[in-house]
Amino acid sequence: MSARVLQADAPGAIEEAAGAIRAGKLVAIATETVYGLGANALDPFAVARVFEAKGRPSFDPLIIHVADAAMAREWVVDSEDALAFAARFWPGPLTMVLPRVARLPDLVTSGLPTVGVRVPDHAATRALIRAAGVPIAAPSANRFGAVSPTTAAHVLESLGDAVDVILDGGPAAVGLESTIVAWESGEPVILRHGGLARETLEAHLGRALPTRLFASGLPEAPGQLKRHYATQTPMRVVDAPEPTSDRALLVLCGPAPRGAGAYTQVVELSPAGDLREAACRLFATMRSLDAAGLRGIDALACTRTGLGAAIMDRVERACVRDE
C-alpha cells in the first residue's frame, strides 16, 4: 500500500497526521534539514516499525523532535545550561544529546543514558507535534545508507510503501541534517557537522568547540559510518576536473572551472559560491545525477569552512565504496 500524501497546509491535514502518530503509524515529516520518518517516541512498537521501514541493520539511537524548549525539558534531566544554549538556535538545525528521563522507551535511544532532541524549524511540523501531544522520534526518511530526502517526492520514491502518511511541507530549506552537539561536563562537543555551522556556534560561545565525530562507547551511529548518504553511481572527490567519458562533474560551490566542458554533464550547486544554496541543493542533485546512469560522478571539492564542513562530510561518506 502506498503512503497517503497530505499537503501540510490543507485543511485537516495536521489533525489527520497527528491522529496517525497517536495510532502508532509512520508519518514522514518535513523539517528544514531533511524529511524525517516519524513515529510516536513513546510507543515502542511504532518505533520498531521505523527501523523496519528503513532497513537499518541495527537499532541506532533516534532523535526526538519536540515543539519547543519547554517540551524538550520534559524528556531530559540536569540540562538547564545546555537548554539555554540550544534555545539560542531553536527552532533550527541543532540536535542536543542530553541525559534523558527513564520513561523514554529504550528503543529510541538504543539503551543509551542520553537522548538526541531538537526543535525543527518548520511550523507545520511543530503544529503536528503539538497536536499529537508526544515527541516524534525520527531518523532521516531514506533507506539505510542512502541519500537523505529533501522533498516529499524523495520519500514517496524510496519509502512510499513503508510509511502510512507523508506530510508534504515543501522542499527542505537547509538541505543537510542537523548539527549534533553533546554536552559533557558542562561543555558542548560537536558529534556531527550539519546545517548549523561550527563557526556560528563558536561565535555565540566566544571560543572554539571541540569535535569528536566518532564517539567512543556508542553503538555505531549511522550518520557516523564511513560509508553513508551513498549514490549507486560511484562518486569521488577531485580538486580539479579530470574528465573521462561518461562522467558528471558536480561543482560543490562556485562556478565550473575551465576544463569542465569535457564532462558529459556538469552541475553547479551554487555558481555564485553561496554555501547555503549549495547545501540546500546537494542531496536532490546527487539523486538526479545518480538517475542519469553515468559511469561516475566527480565532486569538485569546496571549502571546509562554514556549511562546507558538512557538505564535504556528506560527499566524502558517499564516496566510500564497500571495502
CB of 167 to Mg ion, least distance (A): 18
Interface with ligand TXA (CB under 6 A), residue total 29
Cβ at position 278, least distance to ligand TXA in Å: 17
Contact mark string toward ligand TXA, 36..55, x via CB under 6 A: x-------------------
Cell readout for 85 is: 544554549
285 near ligand TXA (CB under 6 A)? no
Select from 108-116, 151-159, 237-245, 282-290 the region that touches ligand TXA (CB under 6 A). 108-116
180/174 Cα distance (integer angstroms): 15
The answer to the question of residue 92 lying near ligand TXA (CB under 6 A) is: no
As measured in angstroms, the least distance from the Cβ of 59 to ligand TXA is: 10
Q: Pseudo-torsion of CA 140, 145, 151, 154, nearest 10°?
A: -130
Lookup: cell for 218: 556508542
Strands (E), the chain: 4-7, 27-29, 36-40, 63-65, 94-99, 114-118, 136-138, 165-168, 179-184, 187-192, 235-238, 247-251, 265-268, 296-300
Using CB under 6 A, which residues numbered 243 to 272 contact ligand TXA? none
- The option from ligand TXA, Mg ion, none interacting with 189 (CB < 5 to 8 A, set by class) reads none
Distances (CA, A) of 64 to 87, 88, 107, 260, 285: 16, 19, 12, 43, 28
Cell of 10: 490543507
Among 47, 138, 159, 166, binds ligand TXA (CB under 6 A): 138
Are the C-beta atoms of residues 181 and 204 closer than 8 Å to each other? Answer: no
Q: Is the peptide bond before 113 cis (omega within 30 degrees of 0)?
A: no
Using CB under 6 A as the criterion, what x/- string covers residues 188-217 for binding ligand TXA?
Answer: ---x-----------------------x--
Picked from ligand TXA, Mg ion, none, the partner binding residue 95 (CB below 5 to 8 A depending on kind) is ligand TXA
Query: How far apart are alpha carbons 50 and 288 in whole angstroms?
Result: 26
CB neighbourhood size of 254 (10 A):
18
Among 8, 17, 31, 175, binds ligand TXA (CB under 6 A): 31
For ligand TXA, the binding residue among 8, 18, 28, 62 (CB under 6 A) is 62
Give the shortest CB-27-to-ligand TXA separation in angstroms. Answer: 12
SS3 for 61? coil
What are the C-alpha distances in Å from 241 to residues 181, 236, 279?
35, 11, 21
* 140 is a site residue for Mg ion (CB under 5 A): yes
- Residue 151 near Mg ion by CB under 5 A: no
Q: How far is the CB of 213 from ligand TXA (least distance, A)?
A: 10
Cβ closest to ligand TXA, residue 79 vs residue 224:
224
Give the footprint of ligand TXA on this chain (CB under 6 A): 31, 33-34, 36, 60-63, 93, 95, 97, 109, 112, 114-116, 138-140, 177-178, 180, 191, 215, 218, 221-224
